[in-house]
Amino acid sequence: MSSLYHHLAPGFVERLGAGFAFLPRFAEHVAPELVEAVGAIAACAPFRRMETPGGRRMSVAMTNCGACGWVSGRSGYRYATADPHTGAPWPAMPELFSRLAAGAAERAGFSCFDPDVCLINRYEVGSRLTLHRDSDELDFSAPIVSISLGLPALFQWGGHSRSDGTLQLELRHGDALVWGGVDRLRYHGVLPLRDGDHPLLGRCRVNLTFRKAG
């Protein structure tokens, strides 16, 4: 496994693949507003650890905002317009979120990104996301934009087959990743969260992924 180092200059774009760009600290300046908005969303659509189709409980807790949200259960993965927990529509996507996601996509060369989902992942110490592909969306021509908040995480970036080797990238508070084009269906994952204490989020990491699902 090889490592990629973290560049600190905000405004810098590191192209790690034809369709994969790393934007260090891209969202740092609005991070407190993002954290506050996540709190308001979670007050309506609480974080929950979803069940996998295999009947296991995920270690990452999730919620969503936007016109639809990603859900997992015994019957599989899907996008749903209502929160299965409350039966209510997911909270609306804040204007700040969609503007930020479109701005990151633009910087990476994807214009007019108009996400309809923001999946919000909350990692406690030890939580992880095993290698997976994001393949439940209808339109793979749109990229995915990811924003990291709180404790740093080790992100694994793999190939088109689960057994391909992975690169490791440390994602820190405010960092963005943009992921599309020929790299849209690559395997990726997050290693178990290491303990720490973040000034805004304490002992956790929150990740926002913006998608165009439908």
Position 134 contacts Fe ion (CB under 5 A) = yes
Neighbours of 19 (CB within 10 A): 19
Using a 10 angstrom Cβ sphere, with 0-12 exposed, 13-18 middle and 19 or more buried, the burial of residue 176 is buried
C-alpha distances in Å from residue 141, one per residue of 82, 110, 182, 184, 196: 25, 10, 9, 8, 37
Which residues of this protein are in contact with ligand MD6, per CB under 6 A? 121, 129, 134, 144, 146, 155, 177, 179, 188, 190, 207, 209
Tell me, by CB under 5 A, how many residues bind Fe ion: 1
**C-beta closer to Fe ion: residue 83 or 134:** 134
SS3 category, 89: strand
In the complex, what is the shortest distance from the CB of residue 133 to ligand MD6, in angstroms, rounded to a whole number? 8
What does DSSP say about strands 2-4 and 167-171: parallel, antiparallel, or unpaired? parallel
Q: Which two tokens stand for residue 147?
A: 């924003």
**C-beta closer to Fe ion: residue 27 or 60:** 60
Q: Which two tokens stand for residue 29?
A: 């300046």
In the complex, what is the shortest distance from the CB of residue 211 to Fe ion, in angstroms, rounded to a whole number? 9
Task: Decide which of ligand MD6, Fe ion, none touches 146; Cβ closer than 5 to 8 Å per partner kind.
Answer: ligand MD6
In the complex, what is the shortest distance from the CB of residue 134 to ligand MD6, in angstroms, rounded to a whole number? 5
Task: Decide which of Fe ion, ligand MD6, none touches 207; Cβ closer than 5 to 8 Å per partner kind.
Answer: ligand MD6
Position 137 contacts Fe ion (CB under 5 A) = no
Q: Which two tokens stand for residue 33?
A: 């507003």
In the complex, what is the shortest distance from the CB of residue 10 to ligand MD6, in angstroms, rounded to a whole number? 19
Contacts with Fe ion by CB under 5 A lie at 134
